[in-house]
Every structure is written in C-alpha cells, then in structure tokens.
C-alpha cells in the first residue's frame, strides 16, 4: 500500500502541492480549517468564498463548493448565499487587504448586522500577491516596497486592529478571536469555535490569523518565526475577544 | 476518488519513523526552526521546487514529538511513533 500524506480529508489531493510560496502561512491556516471541517463533518454543506490577493489561490483547495469574488466583496457575497440557503455553512476567506482595506465597509456592516457567516482573515502585514506593498496592518517602522524608510505612523496612521474593531460593534452571540500560525492548536480551536457559532446560529464569527510572508518580508525560516512570534504579537494581541455566552470584559 | 501518489523518502529513527514526501516539500525550513531538539538538517533529495528537503541528522535524537508534522504548511511530513 502506498503511503499517503496526513492531509485533512476535506483537502482536494489532486491540487497538491498547493500554489502558495514556500513557508506561506496560508497553508497552515487552511490545514486548520480543513481539520475543523473534518471534525465537524460538514464538508458537504460548506460554501467556501475566497477573496482577491494571495487568498484566491485557495479556490480549488478544498473538495467543497467554492466561489471567488471581487476584491473585498467576499463577506457580502457569502452573506447572500447564507440568506438564500440557511442550511449552508459559509466561510469567507480573505487577506488583510480584502478585509481591512477595500472590504472594511463590508466587514463592519456584516458584523454590525450580526450575519451568520464565518470570516477567516489572514494577516501577514503586507500585500503579498502584488509584491509586498504597505497594507493597513503593516507594523510601525516596518519596511515594505512602498514604505522603504519604514512605516511612518504620523502620516499613515496606526495599523488596523480588526478583531478589536469587530468585537466592539458585534452584539452578544458573536465570536471574535485572533490566533497565530505559531500556535496552531490554539488557532484550530478558535476556527472550530467560529464554525460552531455559525452552526448554532448565534451570530457573526470572525477569526484573524497572524501569518508569515517569507517571500515579501525577505526573511529566512528563523527570522520568519521570530517576526510572527515576537514582533507581530507585540502589537496584535492573541486571544479570544468575544465568546457567545460569556459576559464582556472578562 | 483520484489516487495521488507522491514520492517519498523514509528514515527509521529509534523512536519514530520519519517520512518526508519530496513530491510535496518546498524546502521552506519552518520545521527545522520549530524542532524542539534541532535534529533536522538539509538533505540531498530535492523537493518539488528543486530545493533541498530535510532529514533527521541521526537516528537517536528525534523524539517523535510530531512538531514538524504540525507546522508543515504542505503536509509533507508524517511521523509515526514507535510504541515500546
């Protein structure tokens, strides 16, 4: 018997190795998503929506229904799918450009309406697909293609803290958390809770995953982990911000 | 079901069987840094992008914790712990 790699069952094996760069955090986040889908046994009910950017390379990643939308419009498209077919489990998968830059209005409005969809946002501090330009989540002083002297917060403002923003506007019953690819077991628990929130129908669920972009950060494996574990978590605090059934401020 | 078979190399360590799918490994090196006992090194086998893949240095040091399998974005590593 030929030995098989230990992939989640929801992954489409014919499209592997996947299209992401070596060391990309998307593979880790999608592995966690795939394992959660397997454990909940909802593969035949998933509608997977991907955004423009590096996240669109996940369009054939899973053996599920998938839709590829306009830039930033993944949340409203999947909101429509969910309203038309309430039995489907809708996962909007996007990067920080699609969620916090061009798609922030949709994210904010879907969150304030408490739509019953799950949004998974991968934050890698830059625009990966177009070559590493400055994004809303670029850390202060971080060098990118369009901020060669480091991001100047006087001129460009502070990095967007998405989960804090979403947890402030969502009503009770929503799930908001920030995980990191450096702690995959915790990230997987968060994604599972987010999908369970949608299955229970209590409200909007949002998970931001801190992720690595070795190609555009120009880092080797050691510096990549160092940046994700030390520098990103200084500004982006990892943890659950809102859990259904728990009082706020806990 | 479409069956997909990938090329792989195997190393039988003392406490675990280490399998690396060279047909999936892109040589990013994330596993080398995450290994708690630093027992992985670059191997002579080339991966899917023509980059070096990884292999345990020796048969004694790998504890079979499975951290490299967990952090591999491409699911290229399988650790089978040998029960004593």
Token reading at A204: 């909007």
Interface predicted TM-score (ipTM) of this complex, two decimals: 0.89
Q: Is residue B1 part of a domain?
A: no
Asked if A184's CB is within 8 angstroms of B71's CB, the reply is yes
- Kindly state whether B24 is in contact with chain A, defined as any CB-CB distance less than 8 angstroms: yes
Specify the number of domains making up chain B. 1
Token reading at A68: 């590829």
Asked if B32's CB is within 8 angstroms of A22's CB, the reply is no
Full pLDDT tens readout for chain A, 250 residues: 467 888 888 898 888 888 899 999 999 999 999 999 999 999 999 999 999 989 999 999 999 999 999 998 999 999 999 999 999 999 999 998 889 999 999 999 999 999 999 999 999 999 989 988 999 999 999 999 999 998 998 999 899 999 999 999 999 899 999 999 999 999 999 999 999 999 999 999 999 999 999 999 999 999 999 999 999 999 999 999 989 887 655 4
Q: What is the CATH number of the domain that holds B21?
A: 3.30.70.20
Containing domain of residue B35, as a range?
9-81
Report residue A202 CA to chain centroid gap. Answer: 20
- For the CA atoms of chain A, what is the radius of gyration? 17
| Sign, CA torsion A144/A159/A166/A182 | positive
- Kindly state whether A154 is in contact with chain B, defined as any CB-CB distance less than 8 angstroms: no
Structural domains present in chain A: 16-208+223-242 (3.40.50.970)
Buried b / exposed e over B9-40, threshold 16 CB at 10 Å, is bebebebbbbbbbbbbbbbbbbbbbbbeeebb
Q: Is residue B2 part of a domain?
A: no
End-to-end alpha-carbon separation of chain B, Å? 36
- The pTM is what? 0.91
Q: Is residue B3 part of a domain?
A: no
Tell me which chain A residues have a C-beta less than 8 angstroms from the C-beta of B21.
5
Q: Is residue B31 part of a domain?
A: yes
B77, closest residue in chain A (CA to CA): A5
Report residue A56 CA to chain centroid gap. Answer: 12
Q: Is residue B4 part of a domain?
A: no
């Amino acid at each position: 018997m030929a030995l098989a790699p230990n992939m989640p069952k929801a992954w489409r094996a014919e499209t592997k190795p996947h299209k992401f760069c070596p060391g990309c955090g998307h593979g880790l986040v999608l592995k966690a998503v795939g394992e959660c889908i397997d454990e909940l046994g909802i593969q035949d009910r998933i509608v997977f929506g991907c955004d423009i950017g590096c996240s669109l390379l996940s369009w054939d990643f899973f053996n599920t229904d998938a839709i590829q939308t306009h830039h930033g419009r993944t949340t409203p498209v999947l909101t429509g799918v969910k309203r038309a077919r309430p039995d489907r489990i809708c996962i909007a998968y996007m990067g920080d450009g699609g969620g916090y830059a061009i798609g922030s209005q949709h994210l904010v409005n879907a969150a304030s309406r408490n739509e019953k969809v799950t949004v998974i946002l991968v934050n890698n501090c830059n625009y990966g697909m177009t070559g590493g330009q400055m994004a809303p989540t670029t850390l202060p002083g971080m060098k990118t293609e369009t901020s060669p002297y480091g991001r100047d917060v006087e001129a460009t403002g502070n990095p967007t803290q998405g989960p804090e923003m979403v947890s402030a506007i969502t009503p009770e019953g929503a799930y908001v958390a920030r995980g990191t690819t450096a702690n995959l077991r915790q990230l997987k628990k968060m994604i599972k809770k987010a999908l369970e929130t949608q299955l229970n129908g209590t409200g909007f669920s949002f998970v931001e995953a801190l992720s690595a972009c070795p190609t555009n950060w120009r880092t080797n494996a050691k510096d990549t982990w160092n940046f994700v574990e030390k520098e990103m978590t200084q500004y982006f605090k990892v943890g659950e911000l809102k859990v259904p059934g728990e009082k706020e401020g806990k | 079901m479409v069956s997909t078979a990938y090329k792989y190399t195997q190393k039988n360590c003392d406490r675990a069987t280490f399998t690396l799918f060279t047909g999936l490994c892109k040589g990013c090196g994330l596993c080398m840094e995450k290994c708690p006992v630093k027992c992985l090194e670059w191997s002579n086998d080339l991966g899917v992008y023509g980059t070096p893949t990884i292999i345990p240095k020796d048969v004694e040091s790998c504890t079979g914790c499975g951290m490299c399998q967990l952090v591999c974005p491409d699911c290229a590593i399988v650790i089978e712990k040998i029960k004593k």
